[in-house]
Chain A
């Protein structure tokens, strides 16, 4: 077994743009669920909309900042459409509506009627929208080795996207930290605990829930952009499984914590890589083929999620005490 290679892979996964994208998406979901108690089961929908918004407007010739604004606007509108009918109802309605709406985004995106716009099921090639982002890079072209890791400076799966992705994660965490420790965050936590109590204290619960939904959704859309920059926009890779990975990451790291989503994402992707790499080099082809190992990895994810909810429901960083008084 080639441990150096395996550990390099695992280490690389810790810093990968995908890990950053998922961390960012989980930060957004944390504003929904951890802070406000909103059950959003359509975070992948926000991500896909952000990716489409950014890619399509870039292909149409808009500069990067305008494309970013389009992506954000898409997610704001999406959040409003989801929130207006459901946020006055009980929490479960939002869950049902978000899971359906995210599927609608994906299915509309991959429909052949929109081939000119979205590329239908084959999606949008990365090279058709990456240019403006890569052009912003201050680095010279080429490849840089740092420790065991070697990536191109600017192209696709680059140091540049890693830098930007993790900077965005840091920024989002800072935002969440600031907000959770503010009176605004306090109102959200109150809503999570008991909406009617907060209402009786004169707070407009509906408006707060809407703000949380929009804010978390916008962060999700930005996560979608980070996710597609090193690859392509493929609607089928951004469906329900993506939403559930984001949930797993959030619960793994610890909902309602500032760093939980980041830690959760790193551990999730690194552990998955570790399992797959070790199995690929130890399990003979006759027992399990490569694609079966891939699937086995996901089974392990599922089992981990179950164990987590049963044995450590507060996540790695969550406050045990806070959870202990949950049921009363």
Chain B
């Protein structure tokens, strides 16, 4: 189904050759250096601030976050074992689920109780762990749907193409650019339902970027994406950050987390158990305990824990 398999590999290599701007990363490093490495640590310039957010399902507590701040303009990784409550926290923050208690703000405005569509319009756009490609629509139509400020989406104005044609052209141009970046340009006119699992992940991510959000929240964006393309996508995520977009993403691949995140938040059993820069958080005892159970003294970034092909490819070994 996919095009020539060598194509993404080539592009992956180009992305590797063009790393993100070092000044931005360095700037963030100094900013984060002053941040305390503890759960709920205050950040110098938080874009999201959550307080006392809990979500119970029957008797079980899926999310119980005392305090969380997400730094503006940085890439923050949210990690934790299966069932830690990462997706549920995403759902709460983006209005797809209602918390049992708690409040949170985005860019200083309270978002508690705000419906999902309005959250997205305010600039906080998320993707889903289980992809939601709009199957019986073409790839390009999926992309166009992601755009904001299309007057033709109003019933009255839809009848008068003159009012929305020019915006439609802009949108299409932007969509084609993004598709090219995500290596989906060859699929432009195919139905999204005919894409492979990894391609759907890519489409969903590209679609989320159409509205030029201030903050993107990606739930396992790389799950099922092949290693070479992953590498180039990491480049794109860093480029997004360098353009000023805040990124919060959930990921299980520790190498990837280590490669691109500026800050890591660790969840376990609904709580935030650790925060810190990627290098130190992975050797944090609380984190290792959360993942592997107590009395285990391996660094999570240790290759002996992750010996799959992805790792090899990421590390550039044969």
Contacts and interface: CB of A to CB of B under 8 A. Distances in A.
B153 interface: yes
Contacts of A178: 158-159, 161
Interface string B122-150: 00011110001111110001001110101
Contacts of A323: 136
A183 B127 contact: no
B136 A189 contact: yes
A322 B145 contact: no
A179 B145 CA distance: 15
A186 B153 CA distance: 8
Interface in A178-222: 178-179, 182-187, 189-190, 192-194, 196-205, 211, 215
A322 B208 contact: no
B155 A202 contact: no
Interface residues on A, range: 20 to 34
Contact of A193 (B126, B137, B161): B137
A207 to B, nearest CB: 9
B158 A182 contact: yes
A328 B193 contact: yes
A197 B152 CA distance: 19
A136 interface: no
A190 B193 contact: no
B134 A193 contact: yes
A321 B207 CA distance: 23
Contacts of A190: 134, 137, 145
A321 B191 CA distance: 9
Interface residues of B, number: 43
B117 A205 contact: yes
Contacts of B257: none
Given A187-B145, A190-B134, A322 B159 contact: no
Nearest to A189: B137
Nearest to B137: A189
Interface in B168-210: 168, 191, 193-194, 204, 207-208, 210
Contacts of A4: none
Nearest to B120: A202
A196 B208 CA distance: 13
Contacts of A322: 136, 191
Contact of A199 (B116, B146, B152): B116
A201 B211 contact: yes
B141 A326 contact: no
Contacts of A328: 135, 193
Interface string A97-132: 000000000000000000000000000000000000
Given A199-B120, A205-B117, A184 B155 contact: yes
B65 to A, nearest CB: 21
A201 B207 contact: yes
Contacts of A197: 128, 132-134, 204
A194 B125 contact: no
A90 to B, nearest CB: 15
Nearest to B197: A328
A201 B120 CA distance: 6
Most chain A CB atoms below 10 A, which of B126, B155, B168, B191: B155
B135 A198 contact: no
Contact of A200 (B132, B136, B151, B154): B132
Most chain B CB atoms below 10 A, which of A182, A187, A196, A199: A182
A325 interface: yes
Nearest to B150: A183
A321 B96 CA distance: 32
B117 to A, nearest CB: 5
B193 A202 contact: no
B145 A198 contact: yes
B164 interface: yes
Contacts of A196: 96, 116, 128, 132
A184 B155 CA distance: 6
B96 to A, nearest CB: 7
Contacts of A203: 117, 145, 153
A201 B145 contact: yes
B121 interface: yes
Given A183-B152, A184-B152, A205-B117, A200 B137 contact: no
A186 B159 contact: no
A321 B189 CA distance: 13
A194 B118 CA distance: 17
A183 B121 contact: no
Contact of B125 (A198, A200, A204, A211): A200
Contact of B144 (A183, A199, A325): A183
B134 A194 contact: yes
Contacts of B211: 201-202
B158 A184 contact: yes
Nearest to A325: B193
Interface string B10-51: 000000000000000000000000000000000000000000
A186 B193 contact: no
Contacts of A325: 135-136, 191, 193-194
Nearest to B134: A193
Interface of B: 94, 96, 115-118, 120-121, 125-128, 132-137, 141, 144-146, 148, 150-155, 157-159, 161, 164, 168, 191, 193-194, 204, 207-208, 210-211
User: Considering the complex of A and B, which 4 residue pairs feature the smallest CB-CB distances, nearest first?
Assistant: A325-B193, A183-B152, A202-B120, A184-B158
Given A194-B132, A200-B96, 9 more contacts: A178-B158, A179-B155, A183-B144, A184-B157, A197-B204, A198-B145, A199-B117, A203-B145, A328-B135
